[in-house]
Amino acid sequence: MNAPRNPTLRGTLALFWLSLAVILYYLTHRPFLPPATTGVASAVQSVVLCGLVLLVGGGLGRRIAPGMNLPGAAAAAVQAALGLGLWGLAVLGLGVSLGFNSTIAWLLLLVALVLLRREIWAWARDVWNGAQGVIGTGGRTGRAIALLVGIIVVFGLLAALAPPLRFDALVYHLTLPAEYLAAGRVSHLPYNAFSGFPQNLHMLYLWSMALGAARPAVLGWCLGAVAALGLWALVADRFSPRAAWVALAALLVGYSPAASLGWAYVDWAGILFGLALWLALLNWQENLSRRNLVLAGLVAGLMLGVKFTSGALFIPAALWLALQKPCRAAVVGALVFGLAAAAAVAPWLLKNYAFTGNPVFPLAIPGLPSGLSEIRAGVLQGGPVRGGWTDLLLLPIRATYWGVELGQVGDAPGYEASIGALFLGLGALAALNPAGLDDRARRARALAAWLGVGGVVVFAIAGRVADHLSHTHLYYALFAPLAALAAIGYYQLAHIPMPGVRMGRIAAVLVLLALSTNALEISVESLKRNTPGAGLGLVTEQRYLEDTLGLFALVNQEINALPPGSRVLMLWEGRTYYCRPVCFPDDLLARWPDDLRRLGSADAVLAGWRDEGFTHLLVFHGAADFLRANDPRYPQDEWRAHDALLKTLPVVVDLNGFYILYDLRAP
């Protein structure tokens, strides 16, 4: 048979015909309605853009720290933390000096992609190889944990793609970057005290928003995925793949860390940087070079640039270095580590000092202006320290069993996080040694124990100094070392030689029971809220917000419908993400007593609000009633003045007395 003439042309025409047939069919048989298509496209866009930010972060980190004595995916986690932290500082520098907008964001990304293309490829290859390496490992226990972890991670991504709901995200985690983008620059926002906190991750949110990502929370999810993969790689390398899966189970068995994958909080950034610090110090142990010590110090400083309370991990890390031998070299090493960390966190301190005169605004330093009034500073610092000596000596037990997401049990401090029982239940068993460990495994265990236990001690002491420092979520940087200890505890338990009893199998059943319970809770909650539909654009944003946030979503809709030029002052409500730039928050729920004490009378307060250009007043009466009944820092005479003033104002919108929008304009 003769070969067909010009087979390339025939093949091309055949593929063209097939493609045309498929395309023409779907012009009249669309699988999605246009709104759903737009929603899916927006979700894909957010994933791609946030993924690009992650890639250039990993590429920069690999450029700075190319050769590390760690498994590929573990090294990639350190490099991602290092690179992303430095990119956050770059965005801060540009935002404060030249400004930051979509054009600058895209130029920065394109330049980074070109200059770091080799490093980006190499970093992505390490991540890909690491992800492939976890498939099918750890036996039946590993595969079962992997399934449950996958469920939690997928629902976390869907939550990140859905409109944000969580309180702190709507007050500042997403609101601050959106404000900076609208203004075209990074600055201090006097009406939002949280703009004084370090914001390394917020700068990356800003970059993602400027690129066009509608859901920058996806970037936080990406950081969580990299942290989980890096933790798995290190534990699998030093102990076993099954223990590595238990490490991930320990991280995700608690509702708070598992659900926060999609919250647009800084929790998983803290976990990533805490993991990176542990790994960077392990890397230094393998090669005692000054360069590796500087890298570890930079990671520590960038970690502080995510959240100041990550110092709970920095303090034991510095002490660990200072106690190495020989003594003189150890002191020098700790000093080098500290100076590198100081250099990395210094931009945030300088920003605050330039804008407020206080480098740690809104926190207080004796002898320096706090930048906040007495009442606002008091609300920020919380009420009197709750609990007693048991919260100092028995913190791991108290925080585990008395810690409830957004709640508290009895007279316990407001730990306000559900972290699961595996940190405590398995972590304490890491001290066992029936399996025998090689030198590398012993070093990993010793350092994890020093950092994790030392950090918990700092947490316990801090919680007795100030009430607001008792919140567990402030110390998520400790979670990677604690998860590693839980994995080591499982590894040791599995090697206890009890005749006729397989300790590892019993422990695995308990781990799977706990993890499956949390996976079920997160799945059910997500499905009840229709988070998957919202994440994929199958439900409109307004419908989703009304179904989940209720009257808050309705009042934001009313605010956005006000005439052009309206400016709404909020009382007892700090969430402004969905009504920017019309509304201005009561960030610390102290605007009324602060203005009343400063100006002296309700009439003067009203005149002051009008002078500031406010045309409307939104009062969250639900929050006001709660504070009136439960918080003694707000005297009753101030409440009476508050109520008397509101009676004189015309009502524009009344949502069941829960939210009321008043007209401030002079009659």
What the block records as the tokens of 324 is: 């190495």
Percent of the chain predicted with pLDDT > 70 = 96
**In the predicted structure, residue 128 carries a pLDDT above the cut 50:** yes
Is a pLDDT exceeding 60 seen at residue 587?
A: yes
Return the minimum-mean-pLDDT range out of 30-39, 601-610, 629-638: 30-39
Least confident of 86-95, 361-370, 436-445: 361-370
Question: 542-554: buried (b, 16+ CB within 10 Å) or exposed (e) per residue?
Answer: eebbbebbeebbb
Phi-psi region of 550 (alpha: psi -120 to 50; beta: other; left: phi over 0): left
Would you place residue 37 in the very low, low, confident or very high pLDDT band (cuts 50, 70, 90)?
A: confident
pLDDT at 7: 76
404, pLDDT greater than 90: no
Q: What pLDDT was estimated at residue 364?
A: 77
Strand order in the sheet with 568-571: 583-584, 568-571, 616-620, 659-663, 651-655
pLDDT-derived band at 273 (thresholds 50, 70, 90) equals: very high
Q: For residues 235 and 117, what is the distance between their CA atoms, to the nearest angstrom?
A: 30
Choice between 119 and 326, residue whose per-residue pLDDT is larger: 119
Residue 557's identity, in one-letter code, is: Q
Asked if residue 366 has pLDDT above 90, the reply is no
pLDDT at 32: 63
Radius of gyration of the chain measured on its C-alpha atoms? 27
Q: Where are the strands (E) in 316-357, listed by range?
A: none
**Alpha-carbon gap, residue 193 to 590, rounded angstroms:** 11
pLDDT score for 33: 63
Query: Is 386 within 8 Å of 455 (Cβ atoms)?
Result: no
* Minimum mean pLDDT range among 150-154, 164-168, 265-269, 468-472: 468-472
Angle between helical axes of 139-161 and 241-252 (0-180°, round to 10): 40
Distance CA 54, CA 229 (A): 14
Q: Quick one: tokens of 223?
A: 């950081």
Those residues with Cβ within 8 angstroms of residue 280's Cβ, 6 or more apart along the chain or in another chain: 78, 292, 295, 296, 299
Contact 82, 299 (CB under 8 A): yes
* Arithmetic mean of pLDDT, 245-264: 96
The pLDDT, as a whole number, for residue 533 is: 93
Q: Among 543, 544, 582, 586, which residue's Cα sits nearest to residue 561?
A: 582
Taking the C-alpha atoms of residue 490 and residue 499, their distance in angstroms, rounded to an integer, is 18
- In this prediction, residue 409 has a pLDDT band, given cuts at 50, 70 and 90, of low
Distance CA 257, CA 470 (A): 17
Average pLDDT over residues 113-127: 96
Q: What is the pLDDT of residue 407?
A: 62
Reported as a pLDDT band with limits 50, 70 and 90, residue 398 is confident
Least confident of 499-513, 519-533, 561-575: 499-513
- Residue 501: what pLDDT? 72
- pLDDT tens-digit map of 210-237: 999 999 999 999 999 999 999 999 999 9
- pLDDT tens, residue by residue, 278-328: 999 999 998 888 999 999 999 999 999 999 999 999 999 999 999 987 777
Determine the Cα–Cα distance for residues 473 and 487; give it in Å rounded to an integer. 21
In this structure, the number of other CB atoms found within 10 A of the CB of residue 99 comes to 15
362 to 246, 382, 576, 615: CA distances (angstroms): 39, 13, 20, 28
Angle CA(512)–CA(515)–CA(519) in degrees, nearest 5? Answer: 130
Quick one: pLDDT band at residue 1, thresholds 50, 70, 90?
very low
For residue 433 the two structure tokens come to 């040694």
The vertex-539 CA angle with 538 and 544, nearest 5°, equals: 150
pLDDT at 410: 55
Report d(CA 551, CA 656) in Å as an integer. 9
pLDDT band at 207 (very low <50, low <70, confident <90, very high): very high
Q: Which of 519, 404, 473, 662 is nearest to 146 (CA)?
A: 519
Counting Cβ atoms within 10 Å, is residue 413 exposed (0-12), middle (13-18) or buried (19+)?
Answer: buried
Q: Which two tokens stand for residue 216?
A: 């920058």
For residue range 594-608, list pLDDT tens digits in order: 999 999 999 999 999
Q: Quick one: pLDDT at residue 38?
A: 78
Task: Please give, one letter per residue, the 3-state secondary structure of 245-289.
Answer: HHHHHHHHCCHHHHHHHHCCCCHHHHHHHHHHHHHHHHHHHHCCC
| Mean pLDDT score of the chain | 92
Write the CB contacts of 536 (distance below 8 Å, at least 6 apart in sequence).
36, 39, 40, 43, 158, 161
User: What is the reported pLDDT for 76?
Assistant: 97
Please give the Cα distance from 142 to 511 (Å, whole number): 11
Number of helices and strands in the chain (H, E):
30, 7
In this predicted structure, which of 35-49, 89-103, 347-361, 473-487 has the lowest mean pLDDT?
35-49
Q: Which of 167-176, 322-331, 401-410, 480-489 has the lowest mean pLDDT?
A: 401-410
The residue type found at 642 is H
Residue percentage of the chain with pLDDT more than 90: 75
> Which of the residue ranges 25-34, 143-152, 188-197, 378-387 would you say has the lowest mean pLDDT?
25-34
Question: pLDDT-based confidence at 11, cuts 50/70/90?
Answer: confident
Supply the pLDDT for residue 372.
84
- Residue pair 664/615 in contact (Cβ under 8 Å)? The answer is yes
Least confident of 423-437, 481-495, 507-521: 423-437
Contact 459, 396 (CB under 8 A): no
CA 352 vs CA 211, 355, 365, 502: distances in Å: 26, 5, 13, 57
pLDDT, one tens digit per residue, over 327-362 is: 777 888 899 999 999 999 999 999 999 998 899 998
Residue 13 — very low, low, confident or very high, per pLDDT cuts 50/70/90? confident
Inform me whether the pLDDT recorded for 29 exceeds 90: no
For the record, the structure tokens of 585 come out as 């928050």
Mean pLDDT of 68-77: 95
